[in-house]
Each structure stands twice: as C-alpha cells, then as structure tokens.
C-alpha cells in the first residue's frame, strides 16, 4: 500500500514545522524568566492562556444535593449523592469518609476524577484510592463523568466512553462549544457541592485523577482557584511528545489554540503556582514519561524562583497506563503531606472494594431516566434552534466567518508546481504537485485522451473535481457534474487525501476510523491554530487560481462527499472565476445530525462555531446567488446515500 501513497509523511512534516515554531517561541520566552518577578508574570500569562483556550466555561447551577443511600465497609462510610450540574442535568457522586469521624470534623476533601472507564465512579482502582484517602482522614469524592457509569448520553449505541466523548465533542464544536469546558463545568460543580458540606474544610480541597481523569484534574486545578493542590496521573507530558509519537488524544484533550498561544501541558500546573502540584506518570505509557519529566522541570523552575521548591513533585512509577499501587500510595502521601502535615511514609491499608451494582446512585442506574433529565441530543437540538433564530447568514457574513475560522484572510495566488513522473495507474492520467504551502502540496490529476502531459495546457472550458478520498480511483467512474464534451478532466487530492493520505498513527483501512490520522492532524491543527480544514480549502482555492490562469472562460467546479464540502467552503469565500458549482454527496444540514445517533462525518470537516453564523442550507443558498449551483445528492450522518 505504501507505494500508492508516495507523500504519506507530508502532513507530519507540515505540522512538525509548526510545532517546532511553537517550541522555539516558548523557549525564547522561557529564556527571559530569571527572577521571581519574571516567574510571577509567567504564572499570570499561563493562567490567562488556559482561561482563553477554555472560555467560556458553561454556566452551572446550584448543586441541590440529594442523598440516595449509604454503605459501610472497613470503617469507611460511603454516601451516594446526586447533584445538579446545570439546569435539568445531574451527576452521580460517591463520598468516602471515615465512619468514626465526627460530623463537626472539617476534613480536607480530594476530588477524584475518573478516567475513561465504562463503569465510571465504580472503577476498582479508584475505589481503592478513595478508601485509602478516607482512612487517612480525608474525604474522597468521585463522580460519574459525562458518558460513563450512570451518565450515558447515547443510550442503545453501546459506545465506549471515548466514543461518547468524541462524538459529543465534534457536535458541540459545530455550535461553538468546547467539550473540555463541559468537563471542567462538571468538576467545578463537584467543588460547589463540597462547599455545601459543613464537614469539609474549604481551604483544603485537592484534585486527582488518572488518564482522562488526570486530564480533567489538570484542567480543574488550572481553572478553579478553590482547589488548593493537584496530583494528575498518566496525562501530563508535552504536546510535542504526543505529536511526535503520533498519539491521537480525546476530544477534551485539545484546548483550542493553547499550543499556538505559547502554552504547554506544564502550564496547566504552573497557572496555579505556588499551589502544590505532583506529576504522576508510569514508565510504559502512551503518555510519554519523558514529557512528564520535561514538564516537571519547567514547573520546578517556576517554584524554585517563587521560593516554594518543596511544593512540586514527580513520580514515574513502574508498569503501564493506570492507577496502580505505587501511584495510589504517592497520591495519598502527597495530600497527607500538604493537607494533614504527615511527612512520614503513609500506611496503605488493604481494602475490599464494592461491586459496581452496589454503587448505583439512581433508581434505574442512569440519570437519563430521572424526570425531565437533560441529555446531549435534545440539548444540541434546542441550541441549534436558538442559534438559527438569532443568526443572519448573509453571503458576506458567511465569507467573513470562513476566512477567519479557517485562517484564510488572503485568497491564494496561482501556485508553482512540480511535474510528477508516472506512478502506475492509467497512462492517460498525469499528475502535478501544486506547492500550496511550505512542506505541503496538493496533487492535481489531469486526464488527457492523447497521453502523458508535462505542462499545464491552456483550456477553453475547464472542469475541476475535488476528490472525496482518492482522485485516482474516483476518476475511474463518471464524475458528478462533469460536462460530456469536456476535453480534459482535472481532479484534485487536497492535503491528506489520496496520494498524500498519511501513513502515520495506526493507518486503518478505514479513513474514518475514530483515532486515525485525519482526526490526529485535525486535533493538532486545532492546538496549533492551523486548522486542517483551512489548509484543504486553501488547496482548493489555489488550484482554482492556477486553472484560471490557463483558462479562457470561467471554470466549473464539483466535488463529492468531503470534496464537495471543501468546494462549498472555498466557494463560500470566493467564487471569482467560477461559473458553475456541482455538489454531490453532501449533508442537507449539520443540525439534522443532532438526533442522538452516530455521526460518521469526520471532525476535520466540521468548522467550530459554524452554526453560530450559518448551517449548510444557508451556505448552499449563498452559493446559488453567486453561481449556477447544482446539489445532486445527499448523504446522511453515516455517509450513506439518502
């Protein structure tokens, strides 16, 4: 297969260049941090950068806790609690506290946030940590995350937690909401609940979690100043380690623009300096422990300058990804030291955990069954209707949004190109590599009835087709919108499609696999403020500019599926020199997909915040005002013909 993808490293090289620039800017900034005042100024900048990436945090409501049951085991009382996190939305919590602790004893509270496990708060290793914290004299609180435990949002689909999160993430993106901010809202609501309890010391609230819980613990620590100490596990590394290791991460782990803004993962902890922070990692983890050590170096430097070196720690334990006994003990030791003043080695008792069915908080095992409970699909539908009523999608407003969100303020000029030699396939198909950006090319295929071409011929009538997945294979069938009398066909593979489909990540046969390269580069593009979709639209506009330079008349442009949407976005910016547009295999409307079912269209083609300005019917209507537009077929949420 590799011989058919000759430019499979192109996107990696393109984003590596942007990553290197971000790293250099950060190093330059850090070279100027030499005094306590410099450190304090950097802490303030880190805090602002994190807040900017997550803004706005969704509004939350008073928790209005409901106690639904209690269990007692090995001297620990465990309470079952329901809280409200936003109007009509509830979360299920477990509260662990030593049974003999007087009600008047104000204990430290440790918010323990769950990783991506289907059972949520009932995870066995999580229970072991909570029981240990309780025995040490601290109150441990854990809640079911969105899409896990008793908070499933896509019932009947049988999705894993990450599948629920990533589906919700890309749909919320369309409405201009970052799923990571939703996760932070839940954590903040749990802190709200802790502050309603008379047996909690509000000055001694800590946060921890592993994997996805380590992610959220880092976010909550950075953004909620009521949290006094943080100990994230199996998450903190560096953005560049994730990128270089070709690690796709979850939807909430991509704070928009944070890397481009000068921040790295260490800044999630630096933002709260001099508050105590412990980085927990393991040797054999996809979250690279080398990055954990690098982040610790940055964090330690800031604390050294602030005069609080003892408040920072790093532990890289043995084994693989997860909350094993070494990490559990280190977590207990950290909070015992900073909240209880216990500097000696803590004793870790052995506990029997509860079975999952014993820890059910709601009557049916799902908050979705509560009267009037909100879930993600109805929320998305209501929000889409609200946005639709408020927007005024003029062609000018659509063009401005597309330019700004896709980072395309300047319409590209005709690019230079390389003439490629034959790579198999039809001898009547020639290939030009259009140099549309540094380290990036779009491949223009030209069919000619005579044979190979080594130049770009002049045309009287030009037809350009933008491929869905691979121009070579799609040219083997009739192209939608192609005139019967056209002499030559031009078909475009934008970056990451066809001949430049990446060979990175796991390289599934299925282009739309959840964690394959298309998702990976889109996610890194969001971190680096260089959207993959924007680059692909740029490729389309550059190809149009090149063909216009050799055409006697306005050209025709068409596309299918992903290619058709790229055509629509490109033409939404500018139809200069284009007379006819033919779209095939497009969605009728993004808002049609807010029905609670699966959506196979990739995140890379969904522009964040788009529904605040327009939906696809508005874009199609705007194009029809400018050109001869035909929309010949539609695909549903699963990319199947309607």
CATH value at residue 267? 3.40.50.1820
Cβ-contact 376, 168 below 8 angstroms: yes
Domain boundary among 275, 308, 342: 342
- Cα separations in angstroms, 400 against 351, 407, 409, 604, 624: 60, 10, 9, 20, 18
127 in a structural domain: yes
Domain that holds residue 248: 107-342
Over residues 572-619, the pLDDT tens digits come to 999 999 999 999 999 999 999 999 999 999 999 999 999 999 999 999
| The predicted structure's pLDDT at residue 422 | 67
To the nearest whole percent, how much of the chain has pLDDT over 70? Answer: 98
Length of the chain: 642
Nearest to 83 by CA among 154, 151, 161: 151
pLDDT at 101 over 50: yes
Question: Which residues make Cβ contacts (< 8 Å) with residue 333, sequence separation at least 6?
Answer: 345, 346
| Main-chain phi, psi angles of 419, to 5 degrees | -95, 115
Residues 400 and 277 in one domain: no
Burial tier of 625 (Cβ tally within 10 Å: 0-12, 13-18, 19+): exposed
Residue 393 near residue 108, CB atoms below 8 Å: no
pLDDT, tens only, 21-40 = 999 999 999 999 999 999 99
Q: Per-residue pLDDT averaged across 279-292, rounded?
A: 98
Q: Give all strands of the β-sheet with 463-466 in edge-to-edge order.
A: 417-420, 429-437, 440-447, 489-493, 463-466, 555-560, 578-584, 628-631
228 burial type by CB count under 10 A (0-12 exposed, 13-18 middle, 19+ buried): buried
Q: Specify the pLDDT at position 58.
A: 95
What per-residue confidence (pLDDT) applies to 421? 83
Helix (H) or strand (E) holding 327: helix 325-340
Helix (H) or strand (E) holding 586: none
Residue 195 lies in a domain: yes
Residue with tokens 């409405």: 175
* Residue where a domain terminates, one of 317, 342, 367: 342
Q: How confident is the model at residue 246 (pLDDT cuts 50, 70, 90)?
A: very high
Count Cβ atoms below 10 Å from residue 634 Cβ, excluding itself. 17
Examine the domain organization and report whether 415 and 482 are in the same domain: yes
Banded model confidence at residue 439, pLDDT cuts 50, 70, 90 = confident
Residues 320 and 171 placed together within one structural domain of the fold: yes
Q: Is the pLDDT of residue 400 over 50?
A: yes
> Quick one: pLDDT band at residue 156, thresholds 50, 70, 90?
confident
Return phi, psi of residue 283, to 5°.
-65, -45
Asked if the structure places residue 424 within a domain, the reply is yes
pLDDT (0 to 100) of residue 392: 95
Q: Compare 452 and 564 and report the one with higher pLDDT.
A: 564
- Whether residue 526 is predicted with pLDDT greater than 90 in this model: the reply is yes
Burial letters 513-525, b for 16+ CB under 10 A, else e? bbbbbbbbbbbbb
Tell me if 516 is assigned to some domain: yes
Give the C-alpha separation, 29 to 301, whole Å: 14
On whether residue 544 sits in a domain, the answer given is: yes
**Residue pointed to by tokens 């090289």:** 13
Nearest residue to 220 via CA among 254, 186, 197: 186
Let me know: does 159 contact 358? Beta carbons within 8 Å. no
Model confidence over 200-236: pLDDT tens digits?
999 999 999 999 999 999 999 999 999 999 999 999 9
Q: Are residues 335 and 465 in the same domain?
A: no
Residues 585, 487 within the same domain: yes
Structure tokens at 264: 């790295």
416 and 310 both lie in a single domain: no
pLDDT at 425 over 70: no
pLDDT at 506: 87
Q: Which residues contact 603 (CB under 8 A, 6 or more apart)?
A: 166, 169, 170, 173, 251, 519, 522, 523
**Structure pTM?**
0.96
597 and 467 within one domain? yes
How much is the pLDDT for 485?
87
pLDDT averaged over every residue in the chain: 95
Residues 6+ apart with CB under 8 A from 145: 113, 114, 120, 151, 161, 183, 186, 212, 213, 216
Q: 42 lies in a domain?
A: no
Are residues 559 and 496 part of one domain?
yes
Is the same domain home to 415 and 502?
Answer: yes
Q: The tokens of 61 are what?
A: 């409501």
Cα separation, 366 vs 368, in Å, equals 5
Q: What is the largest CA-CA distance in the chain?
A: 91
Instruction: Determine the pLDDT at residue 501.
Output: 96
The pLDDT score that the predictor gives to residue 1 is 35
pLDDT score of 352? 79
Neighbours of 236 (CB within 10 A): 31
Based on the domain organization, do 423 and 516 belong to the same domain?
yes
Count helices and strands in the chain by DSSP H and E runs? 17, 17
259 and 187 in a single domain? The answer is yes
Q: Is the pLDDT of residue 278 over 90?
A: yes
Q: What is the pLDDT of residues 2-23, one digit of tens each?
A: 445 789 999 999 999 999 999 9
Q: Point out the domain boundary residue: 304, 322, 342.
A: 342
Residue 529's pLDDT band (boundaries 50, 70, 90)? Answer: very high
Is 640 a member of any domain? no
Smallest Cα–Cα separation from 127: which of 76, 178, 88, 173?
A: 76
Rounded distance between C-alpha atoms, residue 560 and residue 629, angstroms:
14
End-to-end CA distance of the chain: 32
Q: How confident is the model at residue 507 (pLDDT cuts 50, 70, 90)?
A: confident
Query: Is it the case that residue 539 has pLDDT exceeding 80?
Result: yes
Per the structure, the count of domains in the chain is 2
Residues 306 and 431 in one domain: no
Q: Is the dihedral of CA 189, 190, 196, 202 positive or negative?
A: negative
- Please check whether residue 627 lies inside any domain of the structure: yes
pLDDT at 544: 97
User: Would you state the pLDDT for residue 97?
Assistant: 97
| pLDDT band (50, 70, 90) for residue 349 | confident
């Amino acid at each position: 297969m590799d011989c058919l993808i000759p430019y499979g490293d192109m996107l990696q090289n393109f984003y590596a260049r942007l990553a290197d620039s971000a790293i250099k800017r950060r190093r330059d900034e850090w070279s100027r941090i030499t005094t306590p005042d410099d450190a304090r100024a950097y802490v303030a900048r880190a805090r602002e950068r994190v807040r900017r990436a997550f803004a706005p945090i969704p509004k939350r409501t008073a928790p209005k806790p409901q106690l639904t049951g209690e269990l007692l085991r090995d001297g620990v009382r465990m309470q079952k609690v329901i809280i409200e996190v936003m109007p009509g939305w509830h979360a299920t919590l477990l509260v662990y506290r030593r049974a003999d602790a007087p009600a008047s004893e104000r204990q430290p509270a440790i918010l323990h946030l769950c990783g991506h496990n289907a059972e949520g708060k009932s995870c066995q290793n999580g229970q072991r940590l909570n029981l240990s914290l309780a025995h040490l004299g601290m109150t441990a609180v854990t809640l079911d995350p969105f899409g896990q435990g008793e908070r499933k949002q896509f019932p009947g689909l049988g999705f894993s937690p990450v599948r629920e999160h990533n589906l919700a993430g890309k749909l919320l993106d369309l409405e201009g909401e970052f799923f990571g901010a939703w996760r932070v809202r839940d954590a903040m609501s749990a802190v709200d609940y802790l502050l309603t309890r008379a047996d909690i010391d509000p000055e001694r609230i800590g946060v921890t979690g592993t994997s996805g819980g380590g992610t959220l613990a880092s976010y909550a620590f950075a953004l909620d100043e009521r949290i006094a100490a943080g100990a994230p596990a199996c998450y903190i590394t560096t953005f560049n380690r994730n990128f270089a290791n070709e690690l796709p991460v979850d939807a909430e782990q991509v704070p928009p623009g944070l890397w481009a803004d000068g921040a790295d993962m260490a800044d999630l902890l630096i933002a709260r300096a001099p508050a105590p922070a412990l980085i927990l990692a393991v040797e054999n983890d996809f979250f690279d422990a080398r990055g954990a050590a690098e982040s610790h170096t940055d964090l330690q430097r800031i604390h050294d300058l602030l005069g609080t070196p003892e408040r920072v720690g790093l532990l890289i334990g043995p084994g693989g990804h997860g909350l094993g006994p070494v990490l559990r003990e280190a977590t207990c030791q950290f909070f015992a030291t900073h909240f209880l003043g216990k500097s000696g080695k803590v004793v870790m008792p052995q506990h029997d955990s509860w079975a999952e069915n014993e820890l059910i908080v709601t009557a049916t095992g799902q908050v979705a069954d509560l009267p009037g409970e909100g879930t993600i699909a109805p929320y998305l539908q209501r929000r889409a209707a609200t946005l639709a009523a408020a927007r005024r999608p003029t062609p000018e407003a659509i063009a401005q949004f597309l330019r700004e969100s896709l980072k395309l303020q300047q319409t590209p000029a005709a690019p230079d190109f390389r003439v490629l030699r034959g790579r198999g396939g039809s001898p009547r198909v020639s290939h030009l590599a259009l140099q549309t950006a540094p380290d990036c090319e779009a491949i223009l295929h030209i069919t000619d009835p005579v044979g190979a071409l080594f130049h770009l011929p002049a045309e009287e009538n030009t037809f350009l087709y933008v491929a869905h997945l691979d121009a070579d294979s799609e040219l083997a069938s009739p192209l939608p919108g192609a005139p019967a009398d056209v002499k030559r066909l031009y078909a475009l593979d934008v970056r990451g499609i066809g001949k430049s489909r990446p060979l990175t990540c796991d390289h599934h046969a299925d282009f739309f696999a959840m964690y394959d390269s298309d998702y990976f580069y889109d996610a890194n593009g969001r971190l680096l403020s260089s959207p993959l979709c924007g680059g692909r639209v740029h490729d389309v506009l550059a190809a149009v500019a090149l063909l216009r330079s050799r055409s006697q008349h306005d050209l025709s442009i068409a596309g299918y599926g992903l290619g058709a949407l790229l055509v629509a976005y490109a033409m939404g910016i500018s139809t200069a020199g284009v007379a006819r547009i033919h779209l095939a295999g497009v969605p009728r409307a993004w808002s049609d997909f807010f029905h609670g079912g699966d959506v196979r269209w990739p995140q890379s083609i969904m522009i964040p915040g788009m529904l605040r300005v327009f939906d696809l019917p508005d874009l199609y209507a705007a194009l029809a005002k400018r050109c001869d537009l035909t929309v010949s077929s539609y695909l549903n949420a699963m990319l199947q013909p309607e």
